[in-house]
Amino acid sequence: MPRAILCVLDSFGIGGAPDADKFGDMGSDTLGHIAEECAAGRGNREGLRTGPLCLPNLDRLGLGAAAKRSNGISVPGLDFTGEPVGLWGHAEEVSNGKDTPSGHWEIAGVPVLFDWGYFPEAIPTFPAELTDAVIAGSDIEAVLGNKHASGTVIIEELGEEHVRTGHPIFYTSADSVIQIAAHESHFGLDRLYKLCEITRELANPYNIGRVIARPFDGDDSKTFKRTANRRDYSVLPPEPTVLDRLAAAGRTVYGIGKISDIFAHQGVSHVLKGAGNEELFDKTLEAFSLASDGDLIFANFIDFDSLYGHRRDVPGYAAALEHFDQRLPEMIDALKDGDLLILTADHGCDPTWRGTDHTRENVPVIATGPGLSGKPIGGRKTFADIGETVAKHLGIEPGKHGQSFI
Ligand SMILES: O=P(O)(O)O[C@H]1O[C@H](CO)[C@@H](O)[C@H]1O
Ligand SMILES: [Mn+2]
Ligand SMILES: [Mn+2]
């Protein structure tokens, strides 16, 4: 049994989702396209990285084999030829959305089989009754934006007007989300959080997954920068997740990074935050030294998605993957006898794809542990197989969805 360690490389899809066409994402492939760009010499950035994508540790565990099985295409640069040393395969998402909560909840054994509410690609995107109610119920006079946007682009576009007028910037994306950007010192951080709480309540009838506070600082449109004080206001998962089931069995769940926010703080006993992938990796290792037998460490590595996938930054994404790969042996060396480490993702965010949104993709499912020999685990029909594997490994009762692959 000892422990389970579940790492989500946020947005690290490996292509081949059978229902990608429903999302306009047929052919999207986060890993495959990054690797192709790198192989063609378009993944270079001075001082950051050059050449073909180089992920020897993930590849040896079975990443290249899993990607090939997911979409039938060999990944350039992932040329490990022996038998993978990990359990390797991919999983399809059954949840209706390609958003972070749907992906994580399904990984934790609870697919999202209802439809979230979304806002249309129109201006204004939000219904007037909703923005009117927010204005009436808070201390703001108007909202700016009111459209689909990339979070970094919209603060450059409207940040100065926001500072001048005091009106916060409301925007959305292909996800079920209302994001509110405001300047930390001109508008105030606590005031922004309060506004998000009010908006969260008012958004419930629209079935919106998350309201997200997006504070930023800086002096003008050229220097505005989002701060680390993002805060997510999520609805609760529709059924108990494997986190809740573990908590009910008296186990400790360590949530690293965004995990606790994604699960509306339910089922997570210890929260360890980190400012970016590097710190998140350190915090995950710290949790290794805190966790006892039967506990779960659940980590989210956000930079892949928010800094590189949504920003459509191929060299940045490639460098972040290569850095994670270089550090992976630290995690493997920290495993005790009986520990199970699983690496996966919650959706895709192909940095070569149009727009700035997530992409519907299969995700890798790679597992290893002392004494575990490598073998294929095939194409799993739901991410919930991951949560059920954790449940079985940690010796708790099976849940309603998915099947363990061990
Ligand atoms: O462009 P930014 O603000 O990073 O938005 C991204 O972050 C949101 C939450 O993860 C997603 O809905 C996506 O649109
Ligand atoms: Mn995500
Ligand atoms: Mn995202």
**Are 383 and 283 part of one and the same domain?**
yes
Q: Which of 310, 311, 313, 356 for mutating ligand 1's site (highest number of atoms within 8 Å of CB)?
A: 310
DSSP element (H, E) containing 232: strand 231-234
Q: Among the three residues 234, 262, 292, which one is the final residue of a domain in this structure?
A: 234
pLDDT in tens, the chain (406 residues): 799 999 999 999 999 999 999 999 999 999 999 999 999 999 999 999 999 999 999 999 999 999 999 999 999 999 999 999 999 999 999 999 999 999 999 999 999 999 999 999 999 999 999 999 999 999 999 999 999 999 999 999 999 999 999 999 999 999 999 999 999 999 999 999 999 999 999 999 999 999 999 999 999 999 999 998 999 999 999 999 999 999 999 999 999 999 999 999 999 999 999 989 999 999 999 999 999 999 999 999 999 999 999 999 999 999 999 999 999 999 999 999 999 999 999 999 999 999 999 999 999 999 999 999 999 999 999 999 999 999 999 999 999 999 999 9
Q: Is 347 annotated as a binding residue?
A: yes
Q: Is residue 401 part of a domain?
A: no
**Would the CB of 306 count as within 6 Å of ligand 1?**
yes
Give the ligand at the shortest distance from the Cα of 101: 2
Separation between Cα atoms, residue 85 and residue 224, nearest integer Å? 46
Count of domains forming the chain: 2
Q: Is 358 annotated as a binding residue?
A: yes
**Would the CB of 11 count as within 6 Å of ligand 1?**
no
Quote the Cα angle for 235-261-113, to 5°. 40
- Residue whose CA is at the smallest distance from ligand 1 atom 3: 151
Q: Is 346 annotated as a binding residue?
A: yes
**Are 325 and 226 part of one and the same domain?**
no
> Phi and psi dihedrals of 324, rounded to 5?
-60, -45
**Would the CB of 7 count as within 6 Å of ligand 1?**
no
pTM (predicted TM-score)? 0.95
**Are 268 and 224 part of one and the same domain?**
no
Q: Is residue 400 part of a domain?
A: no
Q: Among the three residues 172, 204, 234, which one is the final residue of a domain in this structure?
A: 234
CA of 82 to the centre of ligand 3 (A): 34
Q: Is residue 402 part of a domain?
A: no
3-state secondary structure of 179: strand
Q: Is residue 403 part of a domain?
A: no
Q: Among the three residues 234, 249, 272, which one is the final residue of a domain in this structure?
A: 234
Range of the domain at 144: 128-234
DSSP string, 292-303: PTT-EEEEEE-H
Give the ligand at the shortest distance from the Cα of 356: 1
Q: Domain holding 163: CATH number?
A: 3.30.70.1250
Closest CA to 300 of 69, 10, 97, 87: 10
CA of 369 to the centre of ligand 2 (A): 25
**Would the CB of 179 count as within 6 Å of ligand 1?**
yes
**Would the CB of 360 count as within 6 Å of ligand 1?**
no
**Are 93 and 141 part of one and the same domain?**
no
**Are 375 and 390 part of one and the same domain?**
yes
- Cβ–Cβ < 8 Å for 208, 116: yes
